[in-house]
Copies of this chain bind each other. A is one copy, B any other.
């Protein structure tokens, strides 16, 4: 059994004393390179048993201080409040552990200051990599890391100074729009343009999706009204407000919509409910994002699910094998049709 109340944690010196040997022998055994040091197998066994009994845990701070590589990998992520980022984090943790890395993840709530604050903190912990997910200012994080000789990498939103892995937003949005337009035409009996809502106009993903949205309309020879592109931000209330304002200004709102994230969809759904605008006929929707409940919410919704496993495979491929700093990898998203 272990000490009742350990005032001080067990060290390799304690173990060495108990085993009647030296700290270096203990270290070698515990690190598994004792055949290299040709340590007696009975000694090795004794040390292992003792460590077990004492509940010994290596002091990583000391170990890492001495080593050259920390094997720590950091990720910053904007929010934990949707399935997309949730599965990014979960997959990241898994894949990191699989290759013997210790993942540390922190959430920066879309705040640029917090982003660099978090990155700085990670640098203090000697991370070997920083993955910036959906960062508002990824290049700033890259600069900060580069100054300490730490590599970084962008996920979800691209940067210009480090390799980036993102969804193929243009192609995904174009195909999603095409599907929704067809759906809509089938229902209405005639062609009709959609409303685009959600996201930040300034971010790369949103602007690519707008381009895809416009391309699909153009291919089907449908004219989009420029003021029907509402890149109002990500928060639910923003979408809600934008729709209210549009309805007020124009007296009506398009019957079909391209919603730029489940977060925005939350606001859109709330507004649809309250406004009573679609009491006679349900809107035709497309959402560039996925959520299991949304799939059940209505029949006329098409969703695009970003391919998180493929995205993270790319991320770790870069970590394992390297990549040009400027490379931009675009992963095709997956289409989900509601049941």
Find chain B residues with CB under 8 A from A144 CB.
55
Shortest CB–CB separation between residue A115 and chain B, in angstroms? 14
Residue of B nearest to A66 (CB): B61
**Considering only CB atoms, which chain B residue lies closest to A9 in the complex?**
B148
A64 CB-CB contact with B under 8 Å:
yes
Partner of A89, one of B5, B82, B107, B266: B107
- Which residue of chain B is the closest to A60 with respect to CB atoms? B124
Q: Which of A156-164, A253-261, A267-275 contacts B (4 or more CB under 8 A)?
A: A267-275
Binds B, one of A31-39, A98-106, A171-179, A321-329: A98-106
Residues of B close to A103: CB separation below 8 A: 106
Of residues 65 through 87 on chain A, the ones whose CB sits less than 8 Å from some CB of chain B are: 65, 70, 79-83, 85-87
Given the contacts A61-B65, A149-B6, A297-B297, A93 and B81 also touching, CB distance less than 8 Å: no
Is the Cβ of B274 less than 8 Å from the Cβ of A293? no
A320-339 CB mask vs B (1 if < 8 Å, else 0) is: 00000000000000000001
Q: Give the number of copies in the complex.
A: 2
A85 to B60, CA, bound (A): 28
For the complex, give the distance between the alpha carbons of A125 and B57 in Å.
9
0 or 1 for each of A134-173: is its CB under 8 Å from B? (1 = yes): 0000000000100111000000000000000000000000
Whether a CB of chain B sits under 8 angstroms from the CB of A300 is: no
Known: A60-B124, A81-B86, A87-B80. A149 touches B5 (CB 8 A): yes
Q: Which of A58, A105, A106, A292 has the most CB of B within 10 A?
A: A292
Check A124/B270 contact, CB under 8 A, given A5-B149, A81-B86, A297-B296. Answer: no
A104 B104 Cβ-Cβ under 8 A: yes
Q: Which of B57, B81, B90, B105 contacts A87 (CB 8 A)?
A: B81
A22 to B215, CA, bound (A): 64
Say yes or no: is A95 at the interface (Cβ < 8 Å to chain B): no
Asked if A126 CB lies within 8 Å of chain B CBs, one says: yes
**A317 on the B face (CB < 8 A):** no
Say whether A339 contacts B274, CB under 8 Å. yes
Does A43 have its Cβ within 8 Å of any Cβ on chain B? no
Contact of A211 with B by CB under 8 A: no
Contact of A55 among B105, B148, B236, B265 (CB under 8 A): B148
Q: Mark A218-240, 1 if CB is under 8 A from B, else 0.
A: 00000000000000000010000
Residues from chain B with Cβ under 8 Å of A148 in the complex: 6, 9, 55, 57
Interface flag for A50 (CB, 8 Å): no
Tell me whether A120 is interfacial, beta carbon within 8 Å.
yes
In addition to A57-B124, A236-B292, A270-B339, 19 A-B residue pairs with Cβ atoms within 8 Å of each other are A6-B149, A7-B149, A55-B148, A57-B123, A59-B124, A60-B61, A60-B124, A61-B125, A61-B126, A65-B65, A80-B90, A82-B86, A102-B121, A262-B293, A266-B293, A269-B293, A291-B293, A293-B294, A297-B297
